[in-house]
Amino acid sequence: MTTYELFSYPACQKCEDLKAFLKTTDLEGQEFNLAHKDGKIKIREHLSRIRRDEQGGMILPVLVLRDESGVRAVLQSREEAEAWLKSRA
């Protein structure tokens, strides 16, 4: 079973788009708000996997997909999540 960890930031439209998409799937998971300390601590586990922009800033949102064997994918947009799920169908 695939589960997710979603890292998002308030007032981030791309984050809201991905959250809305996740509600249409059968995936279960947890959201971490990067404006809060627990979200900032938790995302540290994935820093080496996260794409960054030209200035070194983290590209949001960050969706970490896991299964029993560990991290399966780190996606950073609704489009990437849609494509990943279609590839698994």
pTM summary value? 0.94
Encode pLDDT of 23-56 as tens digits.
999 999 999 999 999 999 999 999 999 999 999 9
18 phi, psi to nearest 5 deg:
-70, -40
Looking at residue 88, its pLDDT comes to: 84
CB neighbours of 78 closer than 8 A, spacing ≥ 6? 14, 17, 18, 21
Give the rounded distance of the alpha carbon of 22 from its chain centre.
Answer: 10
Whether the CB-CB separation of 32 and 6 falls below 8 Å is answered with: yes
Query: For residue 77, which amino acid is it?
Result: S
Looking at residue 2, its pLDDT comes to: 92
